[in-house]
Amino acid sequence: MSNKFQCVRGTRDLLPELSNVFRFVEESAYRNAILYGYGEIETPIFEFSDVFHRTLGETSDVVNKETYDFTDRGGENLTLRPEGTAGVARAFISEGLSQNLPLKFYYSGPMFRYERPQKGRYRQFYQIGTECLGYDSPLADVETIALAWDFLKSIGIAAECTLEINTLGDAESRTAYRDALVKYFSQHVDSLSADSKMRLEKNPLRILDSKDEGDKKINTGAPKFAEYLNATSKDFFAGVLKGIEALGIPFKLNPLLVRGLDYYTHTVFEFTTQKLGAQGTVLAGGRYDGLIESMGGPRTPAVGWGAGLDRLADLVPPELAVKKDLLVAVIGADDQGEAESVKLSHELRARGIKTENFLSGKMGKKMQKANKLGAHYALILGGNEVANKTVTIKNFASGEQSEISRAALTTYEFKI
């Protein structure tokens, strides 16, 4: 088969079985977000490139290596969205929403990054996320983490996940820490990876996030952020930890956690698992008080998180994602029955009953297909049933079979 008729590398077709799992995860996230007072927002799949290039940071791997950038026919530089937060921040500014604070947004949809395809990572991937705008209290961080925890519990994977948390402090603390890192890493510059040498000039905190083995060894001796936090930053982080402890959410401190994007301040966190190999992060986020201001909007405190559906789907217990809705199979035993089965199926669907209709094939094969699909009942129509205005009902679970009038069927109570 020609390559042009296959999926592009790093993309995939979501066939019904996997789509059902995606739907289960997304609907679980949406329901939890609604419980916390969030409203849904949907931003465009592509934006002006500056929305992402200026906000994510020129030293981030996303901007340096992974964005899908293109020039449209009008000469505009555009980028397919690699994450959700920057687009929400842009919408907050362009839609003039600053008078409506506080605001809570939930989003879901496809994102795009040109990275090496591997387990749980795709070039077109799907993400869900939340953004809470307008609160500068550590309690907003606590509630954001609680929402993430409740969501992970609702899809059956919280017990397999560990909350790792750190603080990046405020601007004053970051500046002091940055100076300490520059001094330290400058002593090891010859041993740093090429990427980290570039980060040393622009954002040395990103070196702490390096996946290079040589960089990791150097990082073990790097100054610790806790030593450079001012009183304000320490108090804020203490408030966050106290809050999540009060809610009984288990966590561990990770002083090397910095996250991959440049807009984070104060709290950063990840939920990780051992079940996905090296790519163990399933949900991550933090506070980004300076992002909207850096885009030309008013200073707006904000905190949020994002999670990849592709990874989450690999972890969800299959039995949780299986839909258990009532399914009725309508089966025509002959030509007359098949013609009438279309009408009966239409009537059942109008009542909100999920119905599968088999329009050709032998009676035995139809029954086998219905059973394989997991149908709870079969409604059988033949010439006799059509003439007598009746229908034969078979309960697959009990094996019982009976005949009732079509009139009685309108009020028949199907049970599963």
Delineate the domains of the chain, giving CATH numbers in brackets.
3-170+230-319 (3.30.930.10), 324-409 (3.40.50.800)
- Contact call for residues 317 and 365 (beta carbons, < 8 A): no
Strand order in the sheet with 251-253: 39-40, 103-112, 124-133, 302-308, 281-287, 265-273, 161-167, 251-253
Structure confidence at residue 359 (pLDDT): 85
Residue 164 marked in a binding site: no
Q: Whole-angstrom Cα distance, residue 100 to residue 108?
A: 22
Is residue 85 part of an annotated ligand binding site? yes
- CA–CA gap between residue 167 and residue 287 (Å, rounded): 9
Task: Please give the model's pTM, rounded to 2 decimal places.
Answer: 0.86
- Hey, CA dihedral for 133, 138, 142, 145, is it positive or negative? positive
Q: How far apart are CA 364 and CA 380, in angstroms?
A: 11
Mean pLDDT within 241-267: 87
- 84 annotated ligand binder: yes
Greater confidence (201 vs 114) lies with: 114
**Bond preceding residue 255 cis, omega within 30 of 0:** no
Q: What average pLDDT is seen over the chain?
A: 90
Q: Look at residue 34 in the predicted model and tell me its pLDDT.
A: 98
DSSP β-bridge partners for residue 77: 71
- pLDDT for residue 204 is more than 90: no
Q: What's the whole-number mean pLDDT along residues 129-148? A: 97
Q: Is 264 annotated as a binding residue?
A: yes
CA distance 291 to 56: 9
| Predicted confidence (pLDDT) at residue 111 exceeds the cutoff of 90 | yes
Give the pLDDT confidence score for residue 205 in this predicted structure: 83
Q: Is residue 199 a contact partner of residue 206, using CB atoms and an 8 Å limit?
A: yes
Question: What is the C-alpha separation between 314 and 71, in angstroms, rounded?
Answer: 35
Residue 127 annotated as part of some ligand binding site: yes
pLDDT band (50, 70, 90) for residue 90:
very high
Residue with tokens 């309508």: 330
The answer to whether residue 370 scores a pLDDT higher than 80 is: yes
Residues with Cβ within 8 Å of 234's Cβ and at least 6 positions away in sequence, in order, are none
Residue 332, pLDDT above cutoff 90: yes
* Overall average pLDDT of the 395-405 stretch: 93
